[in-house]
Chains A and B, each alone.
Chain A
Amino acid sequence: MSNHAAAVGHASEDHHPTWSTYWKVALFLTIITVVEVWAYYIPSFVSSSYFVPSLLIMSGVKFYTVVAYYMHLKYDHKLFRALFSGPLAIAGLTLIGLLFLFSKLAIKIGLLS
């Protein structure tokens, strides 16, 4: 391995989470999941306008936590971040675009019959 490779490899992989961090992350993910399921069983909350946004936020936090700590993307080389976040952004925009195209709003403004 060249010196350059060794230097870059060391810099990108030196700051990984510790075992205690892994356990804390697992506890955190479990608590969020419990809160999500608990929220599902509260009819007044389910019918409120806060239900869907709060679930999406909790899901997003879980998603980020796994990617950042378990997939150690937070500590890895920026190229790996780009390789993941680029397609993820395309995927998210595609999802939003498709939902818009097939929504009642699109029908209302005449984009879809």
Chain B
Amino acid sequence: MSASTSSPTAPHSESHAHGGGHYTSLGLDNRKIAIWTFIGSECMLFASLISTYLIYKGRSPEGPFPHEAWTNPMTGQVFKPILNIPVTSGSTFVLLMSSLAMVLALAAVQNKGQPVKPGLWNKMLASSKLWLWATALLGITFLGCQAYEFTSFIHEGLTIRTNLFGSSFFTLTGFHGAHVTAGVLWLFTLLAIDYKRGLEPKDALLVDICALYWHFVDVVWIAIFTLVYLIQ
């Protein structure tokens, strides 16, 4: 690995001085403290939503259910287990890969201005626009999978008003989807800055804060995927 690729996250403490933020007495940028505090509060929000889902799990007197088939005693209609594990596994993989693209975007911004080794791959690694686009598009793909899942559930007879499972499931995954949407919009604002004036190493903190939010959305999905989709 070349010198330009061996240190993707070169120290950017110097860049902070020009980033518009303020240092606390600890020498830490106030914006980074703010995003970590925000992420901490988001942990508690999602814990409450996951708790609600788990408490209501298995308490719905009427289906459709996540993992079991159900026959409506009034109409005789048979509902198959509603969760689509193959589609959700695919969207989970997409979100994990978006996190990889995000760290590569941050590394590209931090290393901008350093000499790039010849070769297409090294040029790709040095392109912040490429990785920001990749992250945003993977996020949009995840949202597309979620829209497909929600639509198919509604067609199969499960809405937010159908039963306790529907209410808690749509609330939890809907909140997560809203967070992913906010993250995609944030990525597009970074792309707009990158196209307008170019993201430089001094802007690394702007990308870092967005990256922290994006990875947090990813770790929340890691918990949701296991607790909601896989554990029966």
Contacts and interface: CB of A to CB of B under 8 A. Distances in A.
5 contacts: A1-B17, A9-B11, A33-B89, A66-B215, A88-B40
Interface in A66-113: 66-67, 70-72, 77, 79-80, 83-84, 86-88, 90-92, 94-95, 98-99, 102
A107 B27 CA distance: 51
Contacts of B162: none
Interface string B1-45: 100011111011110110000010011110011001101110110
Interface residues of B, number: 60
Contacts of A48: none
A94 B230 contact: no
Contact of B125 (A19, A29, A91, A95): A19
Interface of A: 1-2, 4-10, 12-14, 16-20, 22-23, 25-26, 29-30, 33, 36-37, 39-40, 46, 51-52, 55-56, 58-59, 62-63, 66-67, 70-72, 77, 79-80, 83-84, 86-88, 90-92, 94-95, 98-99, 102
A9 B13 contact: yes
B47 A6 contact: no
B191 interface: no
A46 to B, nearest CB: 6
Contact of B50 (A26, A55, A95): A95
A36 B230 contact: yes
A72 to B, nearest CB: 7
B212 A87 contact: no
The 5 closest A-B pairs by CB, nearest first: A8-B27, A9-B13, A91-B47, A16-B9, A87-B40
A70 B48 contact: no
A22 B96 contact: no
Given A13-B11, A70-B215, A36 B226 contact: yes
B8 A19 contact: yes
Contacts of A99: 51, 54-55
